[in-house]
Amino acid sequence: MQLTQRQIVLAVFGMLNIMNVIAFVPVLLGLLPDQTSLLIVNSIVTLTTASLTYAYWHGWDYARHIIVTGATLVIPLLLREPYLTQELTLLIFLPPILALVIGGPLWVLGSAGGVLSLFLAQSRGQGIYTHPVTVIHFLVVVAGLVLARMAMEAALHAAQHNAQQAQEARERAEQQANVLQQKAVELEQRSEQQQRLLDLVATLETPAVPLADGVLFAPITGHMDSQRVQALTARLLQATAAQHAKLIILDIAGVKVIDQGVARGLLQTTQALRLLGCDVTLSGISANVAMTLIQLGINLDGLNTARSPQEALAQHFATMKLQAKTNGHITNN
């Protein structure tokens, strides 16, 4: 679990309040001399600590500095013998430790220097706090606290920097994802537009125009390939079914070159149309195309041909008239 600096400071304030409450126990039980003055001092310290905790909880950041300063001043002033000249008390390390947790390196040095100076002033420059070994031990501990705080701040800054870089990386990734998504949408829209244009071009390049009742005219121009033949077959089948056509005049006068695959594809187209009950007449066969069909061995037997759409239409009308006469003759008989 990762704690923030604010949570750590609040935890320290909470421990100090608990220590202040515990300090009332020996006073109330009469285990210490001068109980009245100690009770007053403990009450003041407890109320002050509780007030600073409340202030920090509501956002007053200076409360943590005041608590370090107060501990630095109060601890040396409240201690009595034998902890002034004869015995070393661990309370001398409390202000620097508080500064380590809720302050900074300078606060550690300031609180250590302040508390040591006050102990020396209280002991009038005599006793254990003037011994070089004691001073050296104290300074070594303080130096360790300063280095520990510097390491903590370096780690905190590194973590914040890494978190910031991670956040920036996430933002860049989100921006790139949004850009890619937008480009994908644009590409999809362009693809749809292109497909609509291609469909429109395909429809316009080989229209199925009604010439008479049940007769459709489909002119083919330009270069033919297997893909165009397949698209032509699909459109003609759809038009035949929709308009109930009986004849489609497939004019290839605009086709200059034809190969075996295209020729077979046109034959398959006519066969598919016949399955729908629609006859097909192939008109406009040029000399080059006719020669190519002969060289390729393409058999057009069974496929009606005409030199022009007009001739194909005339053949259709003649056939219809003949069928009508034949039907009338059978009816009269």
Tally the residues of the chain.
Answer: 333
CB 248 within 8 Å of CB 280 = yes
Q: Mind listing the pLDDT tens digit for each residue in 136-174?
A: 888 898 898 888 888 888 888 888 888 888 898 899 999
Confidence of residue 123 (pLDDT cuts 50, 70, 90): confident
Summarize the confidence of residues 39-54 as an average pLDDT: 85
Residue whose tokens read 């060289």: 295
Mean pLDDT (the chain) is 83
Q: Using the predicted structure, report yes or no on whether residue 114 has a pLDDT greater than 80.
A: yes
Which residues neighbour 26 within 8 Å (Cβ) at sequence distance 6 or greater? 32
The predicted pLDDT at position 317 comes to 84
Of 26-35, 168-177, 200-209, 219-228, the least confident: 200-209
Q: Mind listing the pLDDT tens digit for each residue in 173-184?
A: 999 989 889 888
Summarize the confidence of residues 9-38 as an average pLDDT: 77
Q: Mind listing the pLDDT tens digit for each residue in 207-225?
A: 778 888 888 888 887 777 7
Q: Mind listing the pLDDT tens digit for each residue in 256-310?
A: 778 888 888 888 888 888 888 888 888 888 888 888 888 877 777 667 888 888 8
Summarize the confidence of residues 107-121 as an average pLDDT: 89
The predicted pLDDT at position 229 comes to 82
Q: Using the predicted structure, report yes or no on whether residue 196 has a pLDDT greater than 60.
A: yes
Q: Using the predicted structure, report yes or no on whether residue 71 has a pLDDT greater than 70.
A: yes
CB 252 within 8 Å of CB 282 = yes
Summarize the confidence of residues 33-56 as an average pLDDT: 81
Q: What is the torsion angle, in degrees rounded to the nearest 10, for the CA atoms of residue 196, residue 202, residue 207 and residue 208? A: -90
What is the percent of the chain where pLDDT is above 70? 90
The predicted pLDDT at position 122 comes to 86
The predicted pLDDT at position 200 comes to 53
More confident residue, 195 or 64: 64
Q: Using the predicted structure, report yes or no on whether residue 199 has a pLDDT greater than 70.
A: no
Distance between CA atoms of residues 322 and 267, nearest Å: 27
More confident residue, 81 or 114: 114
CB 248 within 8 Å of CB 279 = yes
This model's pTM is above 0.85: no
The predicted pLDDT at position 39 comes to 75
What is the percent of the chain where pLDDT is above 90? 1
At residue 297, what are phi and psi to the nearest 5 degrees?
Answer: 75, 30
